[in-house]
Amino acid sequence: MKLKIKLPLLFMLVFVLIIFPGAVFIRNFMTEKPKILRLPLMPVQLEVAFYFLILTGMVFVILAVYLHFNITKPLQFLNTRLKRVNISRPVILSSKRRDEIGELYNHFNEMEDRLYQAHKEQIGMIAAMAHDLKTPLTTINGFVELLALQKNLSEKETQEYYELILKKTKHIAELINTFSSYTKGEVELDALDVKSVPAQKLFASIATEYETELAGFDFELAWENSFKANQHILIDEHMIRRVFGNLFSNAVRYVERKDLKVYMRGYVRGEYAFFQVEDNGAGVPEKELPLLFQKFFTVDKSRQNQNGGMGLGLASCKSIIEHHGGEISAFHSNYGGLGIRFALPLVK
């Protein structure tokens, strides 16, 4: 039972326990009553007040004990746990209560779990960055040592080493720029400039843009939508276009066939506008589908180094969609490749 119901009932019970017996006492003392209940040398009015005071005190003692064990003590325990929040290894705060106190405990558990996930993600980001930077730095260090130690290198060999060092240096700069762009995008998400945009118009604009872009690579885009003219979504259009940009960029970057075909679809289900982008590429293993939206995650590290991906594109997409109140997921496309589906709430 909720406290907003439990407490009024409790105070109503207290009121009844005080007023009703008090009325009975007054009625008894106003009439003839047994002498055993009479206190010597005490007026009738004082006797009424005396017994009424005892009864009131008993009721409020019971009330105080109840409030202590049902409200004060649980809140004190929660305050103690707040001082010992453990983001590295959360401990579940259990409660069988189904009132507001129970909900408060559940929300605390959710908060601590989110802190744990954020801490874990932060450590993962640092580890991934260190790994991605360590590889080219190791290569650069090796070639610099060769240039310093081997004095009899030919001019051609020296030039090749310098070119490799330059290549790895540019790769490091690209990694840093990519990470910088991602963090900048995360900051921008806190100040979204949302406007009501017709879903049909937005879909057609994006489809036309990427149809032309894919044609430049001799690839094909097939698109269709069932949006109506009066169906709008509340979005920051610049950010949503960035999502589509990442999805199409991934399809082209990791293509392993010359006849790449991308399929784009839009439709409405319930109170959401759905957008799907699929391809007929190599796809992603089943076990790795849930991991695609993690920061710095790539399906194949060798493919990452070859194509320049850093594993932040889909993570950025997830942040943008969730900041708009939507959801995004990955699935195996019926066309053989990877499919990405995201939903944005319709304007009511």
Q: What is the reported pTM?
A: 0.60
Planar angle of CA 97, 101, 104, nearest 5 degrees: 115
Query: What are the residue ranges in the chain where pLDDT is below 50?
Result: 33, 35-37, 39, 41, 301-308
Please indicate, yes or no, whether residues 285 and 222 belong to a single structural domain of this protein. yes
Question: What domain count does the chain have?
Answer: 3
**What is the spatial distance between Cα 249 and Cα 315, in angstroms, rounded to a whole number?**
14
Last residue of a domain, one of 189, 207, 225: 189
Please indicate, yes or no, whether residues 244 and 313 belong to a single structural domain of this protein. yes
CATH number at residue 203: 3.30.565.10
**What is the spatial distance between Cα 295 and Cα 126, in angstroms, rounded to a whole number?**
10
Q: Are 337 and 279 in contact (CB under 8 A)?
A: yes
Last residue of a domain, one of 189, 224, 240: 189
Planar angle of CA 114, 119, 121, nearest 5 degrees: 95
3-state helix, strand, coil in the chain (%, to 5): 60, 15, 25
Q: Which residues contact 142 (CB under 8 A, 6 or more apart)?
A: none
Please indicate, yes or no, whether residues 156 and 123 belong to a single structural domain of this protein. yes
Please indicate, yes or no, whether residues 237 and 302 belong to a single structural domain of this protein. yes
pLDDT at residue 346, as a whole number: 96
pLDDT at residue 50, as a whole number: 64
CATH number at residue 181: 1.10.287.130
Q: Are 129 and 179 in contact (CB under 8 A)?
A: yes
Q: How far lies 80's CA from each of 73, 99, 103, 154, in Å? A: 11, 20, 17, 71
Please indicate, yes or no, whether residues 304 and 249 belong to a single structural domain of this protein. yes
Q: Which residues contact 316 (CB under 8 A, 6 or more apart)?
A: 182, 185, 186, 242, 243, 246
Q: Is residue 256 part of a domain?
A: yes
Please indicate, yes or no, whether residues 181 and 211 belong to a single structural domain of this protein. no
Please indicate, yes or no, whether residues 205 and 129 belong to a single structural domain of this protein. no
Please indicate, yes or no, whether residues 272 and 330 belong to a single structural domain of this protein. yes
pLDDT at residue 45, as a whole number: 59
For residue 3, report the phi and psi dihedrals to the nearest 5 degrees: -65, -35
Nearest to 15 by CA among 7, 25, 4, 26: 7
User: In this structure, how many other beta carbons lie within 10 angstroms of the beta carbon of residue 253?
Assistant: 14
pLDDT at residue 268, as a whole number: 97
Please indicate, yes or no, whether residues 8 and 49 belong to a single structural domain of this protein. yes
Please indicate, yes or no, whether residues 309 and 239 belong to a single structural domain of this protein. yes
Please indicate, yes or no, whether residues 166 and 214 belong to a single structural domain of this protein. no
Please indicate, yes or no, whether residues 174 and 246 belong to a single structural domain of this protein. no
What is the four-CA torsion angle of 42, 43, 49, 54, rounded to 10 degrees? 20
Q: What range does the domain containing 155 cover?
A: 113-189
User: In this structure, how many other beta carbons lie within 10 angstroms of the beta carbon of residue 127?
Assistant: 11
Question: What one-letter code names the amino acid at 161?
Answer: Y
pLDDT at residue 303, as a whole number: 45
- Could you give the 3-state DSSP secondary structure of residue 203? helix
User: In this structure, how many other beta carbons lie within 10 angstroms of the beta carbon of residue 141?
Assistant: 12
